[in-house]
Structure 1
């Protein structure tokens, strides 16, 4: 009987404890800490950088000819004109090292389309030197004439202002393939010298020369690839090709012919000496993006 009373007491105590525990507030585990997602990659923003490359010729040419006019009233051929028109057409290929800096702005319209504008300025050491011989029979005197033309071209610096249109893929957001084109300008120089050797005895030579420096304008177009390492989103590397055309320089060189087959003074001109300035450029560069994620970083709600 005592044992039954003891068991009944234990059961009653357990039931009372369970009822008391049910009335206590429950304790839940704390929610996991919120970690915001990394910002989506975007090309939007300002950037600036440096580049270095090489320029090489694009089948340019230097063309010219000789015009020799007897001074009226002087010598047996007074007023006569000796012409060697189109006497030379020398192929030229500007080439040399170049380098400079660029600054620009991109705006990413969609996961695959980037539109931007870029300006750059380049120091250059582009140059070429060509020579050509001339030989003809003077239509005035019937004497043989030989000549030697020497021409030099230089590009000391140039710059461009270009639009850029880039394509990306959602699976490769940090790789952009772009086309570019726009306005170009730069400092160009053309220098030429022509020496005429008269076939009469004794042999007589005279020279005509000219040097012209000009700031020319023109156009440029090309394309390239730009890539940003995800570990360093503020930096990007690019490889780019450009074709640049800065027009031409037309020169007239003058010289004074005092003897020879003409038998008297004459004025010698080197006419139509046209030097073209166009070349290819391949260069590599690095850019620093001032705001690498632009405005596409997510906005987090505050509670």
Structure 2
């Protein structure tokens, strides 16, 4: 009996000593998982973009108007030449557009973001020369006389730039949806060639107009659009964007058509072309963000 009591006492002391030693060892609990701070959008960004552009207004119109008529008998001829010398030609072509942008964003609480961005792109226009040839009646159509009119026209943008505001919402900390709009400017060019005659006119008579008009100028207008931008890596983002731009309309002189009888000028018409420089842009791009906003919050262990 005494041996059993002694054995029990020894075991109790051993367990108590083991518990005391275990309490003295340091804890080995795993540290909390590291959660990276959300990216900050506040700061400057620079990047590149590329995409496609195409015209919204796809017609260049031309109008002939009499400005000199020598006698009532020449009114029908001047009117017939003016009608035949008026119409429209399609001047639509898709273009490649590419360039760069720079901007600054402010990120607010609640996922709101505001910013400004400026960009400029070169435009590699496709060949959009379009020709139109018509044969129209004259006052002497019964005698086989008709007006032959041929018009060739093209238009293009040499470059396009914008200065825009951006207002967006962070759907997630790394995905931004935004609307944008502001000023647009670009180098606009339009060329129209005009030819008009009566191929088999009566002896001693000549109706002829042959010339080319060209318009080239930097124009200023407006733009509006929207897009999505994804911060796929710290300080790096990719975006896709749509813009509509409108640089307004332009008119320019093209040709003068004169109707002669030997050395006498019977009538004269002036032809003018008019077109609009507006269109759509769809482009993709990438930005590098300098992230000069609030410093990220680092978790403490």
Instruction: Give the alignment partner of residue 152 of structure 2, picking from 150, 160, 168.
Output: 150
> Which residues of structure 1 form unaligned runs of 5+?
1-25
Instruction: Give the alignment partner of residue 162 of structure 2, picking from 147, 152, 160.
Output: 160
Equivalent positions of 1:209-228 (< 5 A) are: 209-228=212-231
Name the SS for the 1:161 alignment partner.
Answer: strand
Deviations 1:121-180 (A, max 9, x none): 1111235322223444446999532211111112100100111111113xx210111111
Please tell me whether residue 246 in structure 1 is matched to residue 247 in structure 2. Answer: yes
> Which residues of structure 2 form unaligned runs of 5+?
1-22
Question: Kindly tell me: are residues 139 and 163 of structure 1, through their superposed partners in 2, closer, same or farther at Cα, counting changes over 3 Å?
Answer: farther
Distance 2:109 2:261 in 1: 76
Q: Which residue of 1 aligns with 2:98?
A: 99
TM-score, normalisation: structure 2: 0.76
- The alignment of Structure 1 onto Structure 2 pairs a total of residues equal to 271
Q: Which residue of 1 aligns with 2:19?
A: none
Distance 1:280 1:34 in 2: 51
Deviations 1:204-231 (A, max 9, x none): 64313211101111111111111112xx
Equivalent positions of 1:22-33 (< 5 A) are: 29=26
Distance 2:218 2:35 in 1: 52
Q: Which residue of 2 aligns with 1:192?
A: 192
Contact between 2:241 and 2:284, CA under 8 Å: does it hold in 1? yes
Name the SS for the 2:173 alignment partner.
Answer: strand
Q: Which is helix-richer, 1 or 2?
A: 2
Q: Which residue of 1 aligns with 2:17?
A: none
TM-score, normalisation: structure 1: 0.75
Please say which structure displays the higher CA radius of gyration: 1
Distance 2:153 2:104 in 1: 41
Q: Which residue of 1 aligns with 2:113?
A: 114
Deviation at 1:81, TM superposition (A): 4.3
Name the SS for the 2:39 alignment partner.
Answer: coil
Question: Kindly tell me: are residues 148 and 261 of structure 1, through their superposed partners in 2, closer, same or farther at Cα, counting changes over 3 Å?
Answer: farther
Q: Which residue of 2 aligns with 1:4?
A: none
Q: Which moved more, 1:283-292 or 1:139-148?
A: 139-148
Name the SS for the 1:84 alignment partner.
Answer: helix
Deviations 1:88-121 (A, max 9, x none): 1223324211100000111111242111111001
RMSD: 3.7
Q: Which moved more, 1:37-46 or 1:244-253?
A: 37-46
Contact between 1:88 and 1:132, CA under 8 Å: does it hold in 2? no
